[in-house]
Amino acid sequence: MSIPDPIRRVFAGDAQRCMVRGTSERQPQILLPGAFNPLHHGHRKMAQCASEFTGKSVSFEISIDNIDKPAITESEICDRLNQFSDTETVWLTRAATFAEKAMIFPGTMFAIGADTLQRIALPHYYGGIGNEDGLQEMRRSIEQLEAHECCFLVFGRLIENVFQSAEDLVLDKSLRNLCHEIPESLFREDISSTAVRKS
């Protein structure tokens, strides 16, 4: 399998990011991160809704490294990229956290589900449960997002079988200030890649 050189450079750590699909956009306006295993209609509807709601273009992002999952291999990346059309802009990075994404995509709005926002709000996401270091790291992460003028566009999601929005979550005030919410009346898709894989 032939792996394009820009992808190899990101895998090797010689580049922080590369655009692997779509138009030659230097800096995304809105970035929709995910593993896309698989890409499904809910992802595309999120992108469409985000674009219509904000009037901005939306790109997708796949990180080789993931704070919750094993790193993605070169062959897996190629398989996942092949799900996208040439008209959809896709970035490849090694940015496992949103603080890292903010550093390489300053000024970007990240389109995420409320379930992802809930994880970002938990100190043990950054360290051990009840770990003071985790709390400090969470606050540093939020400060990085603020410093790089990034924010979140949040879509409601089923969390433990209950539909929840950013408004329903317990969030640090500084994190809540970074959030803009898509109302349920504009978007609700109770689908996940995990459920699609199981089916």
Mean pLDDT, residues 58-66 taken together? 95
Mean pLDDT over the full length of the chain: 92
Domain residue spans of the chain = 5-198
Confidence at residue 1, expressed as pLDDT on a 0 to 100 scale:
55
- What predicted TM-score, i.e. pTM, was given to this entire model? 0.93
Residues of the chain with pLDDT > 90, as a percent, come to 77
Closest to 120 measured CA to CA, from 104, 143, 138, 108: 138
Q: What is the homologous superfamily of the domain 5-198 according to CATH?
A: HUPs (3.40.50.620)
Asked whether 91 and 18 are in contact (CB, 8 A), the reply is yes
b/e 31-61 (16+ beta carbons within 10 angstroms → b):
bbbbebbebbebbbebbebbeebbeeebbbb
Q: Please state which of the ranges 32-36, 79-83, 97-101, 192-196 shows the lowest mean pLDDT.
A: 192-196
